[in-house]
Structure 1
């Protein structure tokens, strides 16, 4: 049987002493859609996607549609009836490595699908290489509202190579973001990160410091960073439909003294920003009131 982990993941698993847990949990990773995941996908309206642009930079955005917009075609293929948001630079008419995260924040359920996608107008066909569920840890409960804002507000795009003050405040008060990574073979992954508001530290306009909390011990995201620093982040303004996308490079910080200043952190991720893309009024989706995850670490006094 082919090893489901690459060397970067194995390194992080060894350094954390969780290789045996990862080995046990690796049994959940499959290349075929189970009936449970098929039924879950039928009810979903939201999916996060990670990809690389033509320059090799990693970006994260999302796809959305009516329930059933993700349709499983057979044991390994799914189609997604959705277009990309304005401002995205991805051309998948040729096979393209992607990472997908389908997350139901109301029920705190998430599924990851990594594989190769081909784009045909407003339709993606994904050939899955890895399919698996994730635990509900650090997912803030948010209801995706059915009555969307349809006022047709003008979409505006703002690009820079560093954060402005408003964007720094957005990130420093966020409780959730999405992260896209890639390994040294170009295989992609998309994941979720959550914590109490303020869990991300903005060191300056070009640098973030992010705590990493205990998860399922697979270390897909950190293993990719260990192999390839190219990383993308996505922040969503759940009240107004704005998106903040960052691409840059990340590295792992293992020093206990630094991690100790972050409640519940095993290690830290230092993210260096290379490009910033803010899309105002990017989506008509809105989310309801938020309930923090009971797994979020308690802040130190």
Structure 2
């Protein structure tokens, strides 16, 4: 796979496949195998007397090195390597699946199928949704959908155009580690600390691109972009994560609905910072959120692809 293909054609084709086909449900997803490997490593470490913190850090380094080397070897295979790279690029993006899941859950709420919607949303979030009413479920759906615009699309696309499929899957590996190990409870506070920190570092730039692209998309869609511009930086800084607040704050202010407040995680109720203006997430706002996400993602992809293509051309 030559550099020109990696820089331009593969990301463009991968984006189109993701939008029109969603995730590759017809074929075992690489994240599934990655998750199985991470779960095995987690259980193995806990069966020993080794330091969870040290082994967690070594796990981050080891898995990323293996993923990088294996993918680089696969990409080097004549002809077939191009197809493998395209598949890995396509499988690493989750915009289509994210929008589909959001629409499905929102549709169930609109139909009054609260328990079915609760079950669907529970699979998308890490918080406990058992006691949430309809308004709470809509807010939880809006929070996870907006936050995952960066984690599921902009950040992996960023690393795809910067470092090709291998770089993309190093990011996906760390992101998956963070989702599995990055909890600050007794079980994972040491073992997952390096994975969580690595994810914060790698997602730092993409999260800010996401926030500002949402702002730009909001202007095109004639949403309240001026008030969003005035409040984006302040509200984005409220979250414990240095990155999650950017897409959440942009969505909350553009659509005029609040995020944050009380939430329950693993049986413990916590008070999350309040983001956005006073207002509830209604059916129409969730639909506009989907449109905002699509515009923001496409604009981010165009910006990143053209920018890094120009850099590659200037270095020829």
Give the TM-score range, shorter chain: under 0.3
TM-score calculated relative to the size of structure 2: 0.24
More helix by share: 2
Larger Rg computed on CA atoms: 2
TM-score calculated relative to the size of structure 1: 0.25
More strand by share: 1
